[in-house]
Structure 1
């Protein structure tokens, strides 16, 4: 599975992180940022940038504004989703309207799509001792 990042997209991803849409900010600050799984914003994967990505559960989340409903963008999104799926990444898509008016349902759907069995917390316990996963 090759997820080599395209360095030319890094600058664009940085710009997008600094200039999130209202809906991206809401999902990030009111939900994703507080989950135990680590999500990255505007993550470069191959020749694409995904809005949010969680490597531990191979999950990408896209927030679609009105431009995503234009024919050329529908085809582009389909191609991108097929590529991401081909390398083992599940893609969840939500519209701006869903973020604005069905936020609780969106959050519940994301939780339902996170397979906690595949998530391994590698952070040390608060007391500093080795976690059971790290013991021999």
Structure 2
């Protein structure tokens, strides 16, 4: 039996039907990233356990879509993509794909750091230190003290 009172906030006809509107479709890269988060390799899981929640001093995203690609890890503040390379990256077809992805990322202002999966398994502490150092390195080199003066228009 229908109520004579108007619906309260959030109780309209849509609430009885299970919500409203059509489901938003995901970009293919987003769907791939979500799938990859559930299927991370052991080295990726170990690295994520040490990087998540800014434990290493940098905020890291895992399986982050960038353009048509999905980065294993991404540090926004440094525009740094971290790729964990296992044995499958030694296959010529995979190496060609990696080179294409790296070129796209570099052309779009990202830095790319490749880490061998075995390095993570052998010594994760050194890997974490290397990632943090690379992330902290400036994107552009500053002129050395006592070096040549800046060219016209480059004074800061």
Shorter-normalised TM range = 0.7 to 0.9
Alignment match, 2:36? 16
Aligned length: 113
2-structure distance, mates of 1:37, 1:102: 19
SS in 2 for 1:50: strand
RMSD value, Cα: 1.9
Whether 2:102 is the aligned partner of 1:81: answer yes
Structure 2 residue runs without a partner (length 5+): 1-25, 140-156
Deviation readout 1:15-49 (Å, 9 max, x if unpaired): 11122111011001123541332211101101101
SS in 2 for 1:52: strand
Alignment match, 2:48? 28
Whether 2:71 is the aligned partner of 1:50: answer yes
SS in 2 for 1:114: helix
**Could you tell me the TM-score, scaled by structure 1's length?**
0.76
Alignment of 1:91-106 (within 5 A): 91-106=112-127
Higher helix share: 1
Structure 1 residue runs without a partner (length 5+): 1-5, 119-136
1-structure distance, mates of 2:132, 2:76: 15
Of structures 1 and 2, the larger Rg is shown by 2
Instruction: Identify the structure with bigger relative contact order (alpha carbons < 8 Å, sequence gap 6+).
Output: 1
